Amino acid sequence: MPSRPALAWVVRLAACASLVLAAAGCDSIGKLGAATHTAPAKTYTISSRVTAVVIEGGSGSISVIGSARSSVLVWQQAAYSKTPPSATHVLRGTTLTLTYTCPAELVCGVAYNVQVPSAVSVSVSAGAGGITLNSLSGPVTARADAGLITANSLGSATASFTSNAGAVIAAFSSVPESVSASTNLGPISLTVPDTVAYKISTHTYVGTSSVTVRESAASAHLIHASSDVGSITISPA
């Protein structure tokens, strides 16, 4: 049973996170305030060879979808109080980086929806906003300060998910070699094929852990899940 100081810390953390998530949980960053302006969406295609996609977001949802396409298709939409953010995309070698900068104002952000070749490496970070990854088979990394991380139909051998305030929900369509998932505040749910045994480590400060896949300390397939405040579930697909 946590001590009283620990419980007080949990209450304070939950209260702060609820305020952040209330802002981050909107369907669109354009809903953050009555004075917010939403710019027309922009779409463009990167036809050059891309093996890695990096998205450095702030406020706004980010979605990355893998497919059989050979190019990268980017849809983006900005929201702002007074001055639009300056969004850029840079291709260095075969690494495509999407990011933006904002002036000092109450609301400023860009939402992204990116379609990529399924085998590319994907690294996504967001400040306040959800991250969704679908049908990717390359290495994936997702980090959110406040927001839900969702991954579906992943064929990735390696995957890393980190959320300071928000849940992590990931489902794998093929056996991963290494999965790491951590949250400060929020549950973790991982679904993996039950065709092999996994070496699993879990840690929760306030919450429970449920593991229903086969386990083996000698397995080369590693899963680590850690939540300070939240339950952990690792189950078969």
pLDDT at 36: 87
pLDDT digits (tens, 9 = 90+) for 132-152: 999 999 999 999 999 999 999
pLDDT, mean over the chain: 89
Both structure tokens of 213: 């896949």
**Do residues 50 and 122 lie in contact, with contact meaning Cβ atoms separated by under 8 Å?**
no
pLDDT digits (tens, 9 = 90+) for 14-42: 434 433 443 333 333 444 444 689 999 99
Q: Report whether pLDDT(83) > 50.
A: yes
Q: Is 84 exposed, middle or buried (0-12, 13-18, 19+ CB in 10 A)?
A: middle
pLDDT at 230: 97
Mean pLDDT for 125-129 is 94
Q: Report whether pLDDT(13) > 60.
A: no
Length of the chain measured in residues: 237
The CATH T-level fold of domain 4-236 is Pectate Lyase C-like (2.160.20)
* Helix extents (H) in the chain: 4-24
**Do residues 177 and 222 lie in contact, with contact meaning Cβ atoms separated by under 8 Å?**
yes
Long-range pairs for 165-170 at CB < 8 Å and ≥24 separation?
165/17, 165/20, 165/21, 166/21, 166/24, 166/130, 167/230
Mean pLDDT for 196-211 is 97
Q: How far apart are CA 224 and CA 182, in angstroms?
A: 8
What's the whole-model pTM score?
A: 0.86
